[in-house]
Amino acid sequence: MSLRHAIMVDLWREDGTGYEIAKRFQEGFGFSWKASHPQIYTELKKLTDLGWVEFKKVEQEHKPAKKIYTLTEDGLEALKEWIDTPVDIAPIRDAFLIKMAAGSLATPKLFLEEVRERKVISDEKLKYFKKIEEVMQKETGKGNPEVEFPFLSLRAGILTFEAYSHWFDEVIEYLEGL
């Protein structure tokens, strides 16, 4: 997947400024795709140049004009084409898993601290996604694919963080026994 497609999916769901898109990334796509504000703005420029996204300027009092981006018909067609094309299963690129493979070289106390910190962060993300799930459950089951598919995507994130939480518990138990 590319940042381009993540932005197009976001704009398919809702128009927005670059700032709003970045915020929605942190709140939604954050578990599967990270992007900084400069990366998002750079990609929005490229998408605009391709004709897949357009914007309208909205004047603001005492502030520079803001751009509200919208997915164009050509952009929607490009997004549909991408969705219909199979994608590779992404490799797990987690430096911590590499560290774990050589964990016998680590200072157990320091390694344990790092694992506990990771568990806290993982559990916080899990709580956040479960809150979103509670809200979304009110809309699911009604047969609306525009609600069901994002819900299923959210469920993947929840199940991933639940698995990490259990795994961190196993690692902590092992490290505490050293």
Distance of CA 117 to the CA centre of its chain: 21
Last residue within a domain, chosen from 83, 116, 131: 83
Q: Is residue 89 part of a domain?
A: no
Last residue within a domain, chosen from 83, 105, 138: 83
Query: In the prediction, which pLDDT does 100 show?
Result: 92
Query: In the prediction, which pLDDT does 144 show?
Result: 81
d(C-alpha 4, C-alpha 1), whole Å: 8
Average pLDDT over the chain, rounded to an integer:
90
On the question of pLDDT at 124 being above 80, the answer is yes
Query: In the prediction, which pLDDT does 33 show?
Result: 66
Q: What is the pLDDT of residues 32-69, one digit of tens each?
A: 667 788 999 999 999 999 999 999 999 999 998 999 99
Residues 77 and 121 occupy one common structural domain: no
DSSP state of 91: P
On whether the pTM is more than 0.85, the answer is: no
**Tally of CB atoms within 10 A around 107:** 8
Section 129-134 average pLDDT: 90
Residues 75 and 125 occupy one common structural domain: no
Query: In the prediction, which pLDDT does 32 show?
Result: 61
On the question of pLDDT at 82 being above 70, the answer is yes
Query: In the prediction, which pLDDT does 28 show?
Result: 66
pLDDT class of 142 with cuts at 50, 70, 90: confident
d(C-alpha 125, C-alpha 61), whole Å: 37
pLDDT class of 1 with cuts at 50, 70, 90: low
Q: Is residue 90 part of a domain?
A: no
pLDDT class of 86 with cuts at 50, 70, 90: very high
Give the strand pairing for 53-60 and 63-71: antiparallel
Section 134-155 average pLDDT: 83
- Comparison of pLDDT for 95 and 31, the residue scoring more: 95
Section 135-144 average pLDDT: 79
Is the Cα dihedral 83, 87, 89, 95 positive or negative? negative
Q: Which domain holds residue 122?
A: 95-176
- What separation in angstroms does the CA of 142 have from each of 107, 149, 152? 52, 12, 14
Residues forming a β-bridge with 16 = 69
Q: Is residue 88 part of a domain?
A: no
| Residue pointed to by tokens 């929607």 | 76
- The CATH number of residue 64's host domain is 1.10.10.10
